[in-house]
Amino acid sequence: MLVAKQIWLWSNWENRVHTLYYSIYINRVLFILQTTPMSLMDVPFISGVDSVFFDVKYEGDKLFVGRVFKSKSDCKIKIAIHAINRKFHFRTARSTPKFMVLKCISKTCPWRVYASKVDTSDSFQVRQANQRHTCTIDQRRRYHRLATTQVIGELMQSRFLGIKRGPNAAVIRKFLLDDYHVSISYWKAWRAREVAMEKSLGSMAGSYALIPAYAGLLQQANPGSLCFTEYDDDPTGPRRFKYQFIAFAASIKGYAFMRKVIVVDGTSMKGRYGGCLISACCQDGNFQIFPLAFGIVNSENDSAYEWFFQRLSIIAPDNPDLMFISDRHESIYTGLSKVRHNHPSHVSSYSIHISIYLICQ
């Protein structure tokens, strides 16, 4: 009798928790066709077709009939975030370029979302949404599988806005475990971090594509500045960035009052595409470093330094009193000897250190 009573109490408690869980879940979303997703007073003025597909930021992960997403991938990512927040798992029952059907992972659960493309645009709109769940808790616990790198990158995107580095992979793992109860590997967190940075700060390839526009605006804002860009023209593919040279107008005008000693050095650039940053600096009358020119090349090689010194000679022409100091890199001496035939004056920082040491002795 006691055992039967305990079984009845456990069953009654489980049903109550199940009902309470779904009642909270249902109240958190809107799925009525006539419900207005936003107020016109809360939306900034946008004219044209874009005003129809404007996606309101404060909608968050709410899902309702009529909500419009920017694209099909954006629709699936936002619905995945919606499922992670409410701790259930869904599958893609059918998917085409024009529509997709999402269903709960349980075959007996009626949860179903139908979204289709809006006319000739790339936007997707939720047409039908049955958000009632009848699946068990055991079937819902596999929601962590929805946490792909794209989904995590969307979740972490706001944490990279307006800052340089943002959270690292270890912090992202802890954030997902604490806030969403999702455990991911370090490698997956690292890839998600790259996705989040690309979404918030832009891709590296896109940044290289903005170099011509940046150079034009730089010369317009600083008349007299020099900007040279070299590309690799591939007949079978797109044009690729190769070299960049920048010298500001203030540096060009100030070189006439500097000591005729130029220090040239290069440092490796971190990132997906690598490269090398070359700098040419002088020293003013107050013994302060005066930046003269900068260059971005693929690596410290003979052709890269030769190209850099050819552009640098426009600012600093040949002069018998001109001296170059470097770290004894062979490509620097080779580039100087090819460009400056009359006065290839060059000394290494190592030689200067030895000379100072001997003088002090």
| Closest to 294 in 3D by CA, of 225, 352, 239 | 225
Report the pLDDT value the prediction gives residue 59, as an integer from 0 to 100: 53
The kind and range of the H/E element at 79 are helix 72-86
Question: From CA 84, how far away is CA 87, in angstroms rounded?
Answer: 5
Residue 193 contacts residue 176 (beta carbons within 8 Å): no
pTM over 0.75: no
Decide if pLDDT at 10 tops 80: no
Helix/strand/coil for 227: strand
Q: What is the mean pLDDT of residues 303-324?
A: 88
Least reliable range by pLDDT among 1-5, 107-111, 194-198, 274-278? 1-5
Question: From CA 130, how far away is CA 206, in angstroms rounded?
Answer: 40
CB neighbour class for 90 (10 Å; exposed up to 12, middle 13-18, buried from 19): buried
Please report which confidence band the pLDDT of residue 158 belongs to, taking 50, 70 and 90 as the band edges.
Answer: confident
The mean pLDDT of the chain is 78
For residue range 66-119, list pLDDT tens digits in order: 899 999 999 999 999 999 988 898 999 999 999 999 999 998 899 999 999 998
Please report which confidence band the pLDDT of residue 349 belongs to, taking 50, 70 and 90 as the band edges.
Answer: very low
Please report which confidence band the pLDDT of residue 276 belongs to, taking 50, 70 and 90 as the band edges.
Answer: very high
CA distances (Å), origin 266, targets 177, 202, 276, 297, 332? 42, 26, 6, 10, 10
Least reliable range by pLDDT among 36-50, 109-123, 148-162, 304-318? 36-50
CA quadruple 247, 248, 251, 256: dihedral sign: positive
Please report which confidence band the pLDDT of residue 60 belongs to, taking 50, 70 and 90 as the band edges.
Answer: low
CA quadruple 141, 86, 19, 101: dihedral sign: negative
* Domain-wise residue ranges, the chain: 1-39+48-144, 147-202, 210-360
Question: From CA 145, how far away is CA 63, in angstroms rounded?
Answer: 20
Chain centroid to Cα 65, Å, comes to 32
* Residue, of 274 and 56, whose pLDDT is higher: 274
